[in-house]
Amino acid sequence: MENREIGGSGKRCRRRCLLLCAFAVIVIIIAVVVGLVLHKGTQDFKTIFLQRCKEFKDNNCERIWDGFEKAYVNQNSCNVPMEAYDPLLAVAPFKSSNKTMFWSKTKDVVHSFTEKRDCFLTLEDTLLGSVLDGLTWCGKEGSHETLTTGCPGWTQCENNTVRSFWGRVSAAFADIATGNVTVMLNGSIITPFSSDSIFGSIEVKRFDSKRVKNLNILLVMQKNAVTNCTNDSLKELQMVLDKGIKYNCKEVAESQIEECMSQPEKPCESCW
């Protein structure tokens, strides 16, 4: 009788041990898979980063990656200030240019234009802009990984990894603009100039009349255009613009921009 009881509790104990072991094995497998996925995320992101960087024939790409990663790795991804990217700009500075093109809510038309014609330089034509364009990344406290999913969006927190990057590099790009500066704004929205946008809150404010002589607004007019150069938000733009800079606004049909893309022999100055 006693023996049977001992045998029964022994079996129960073995079953419990087996269950515990199986549970431990599952936990370990999950941890390894999660670790591998995170590591692969960093590797994929870094591979894209270095591939895009090397297209610029820059031998400094590993140093640029190190400077970039330092800004956000092991940080709360809602608490990355713009200055965190200062060391990155120190290793990948912008060169001054007299053909800069800025944009707000017109990204597609601007880039299809600059892809075909060589007369303007946008931030996405520079090393940093081109490497990070269209990517999402962030870090996590206590980890050395670069995450590419689950990163906070623009509505969740202002000082997020991606927004702070665009804010910081946009400021640096505006600082190197000289002479004639062009910006394409969208005539199909009621406020083509928004003081909340990166163009309105950062770039315009960095234009200095010692370097920038003219700001040429190209208001892109689609068939459904809702406004023109008399728009109130454009008056606000003129108010915040450094007084010594000449302001000019032109309404340009999107079809006219497209026509100019397909005529490489036509000088860009006569496009609009």
Positions touching ligand N1C (CB under 6 A) are 102-105, 107, 123-124, 129, 133, 162, 166, 170, 173, 197-199, 203
- Select 197 or 227, whichever has its Cβ closest to ligand N1C: 197
- Select 42 or 170, whichever has its Cβ closest to ligand N1C: 170
Closest CA to 178 of 207, 135, 156: 207
Nearest distance from residue 197's CB to ligand N1C, in Å? Answer: 3
Nearest distance from residue 135's CB to ligand N1C, in Å? Answer: 9
Angle 144-146-148 from CA coordinates, rounded to 5°? 155
Nearest distance from residue 251's CB to ligand N1C, in Å? Answer: 19
| Cβ neighbours of 26 (radius 10 Å) | 10
- Select 133 or 175, whichever has its Cβ closest to ligand N1C: 133
Nearest distance from residue 217's CB to ligand N1C, in Å? Answer: 12
Residue where the block lists tokens 């665009």: 166
Which two tokens mark 113? 């234009």
Closest CA to 187 of 217, 214, 167: 217
Which two tokens mark 151? 């990163």
First to last CA, the chain: 102
Nearest distance from residue 101's CB to ligand N1C, in Å? Answer: 8
- Select 83 or 259, whichever has its Cβ closest to ligand N1C: 83
Distance between CA 17 and CA 141 in Å, rounded? 35
- Select 42 or 160, whichever has its Cβ closest to ligand N1C: 160
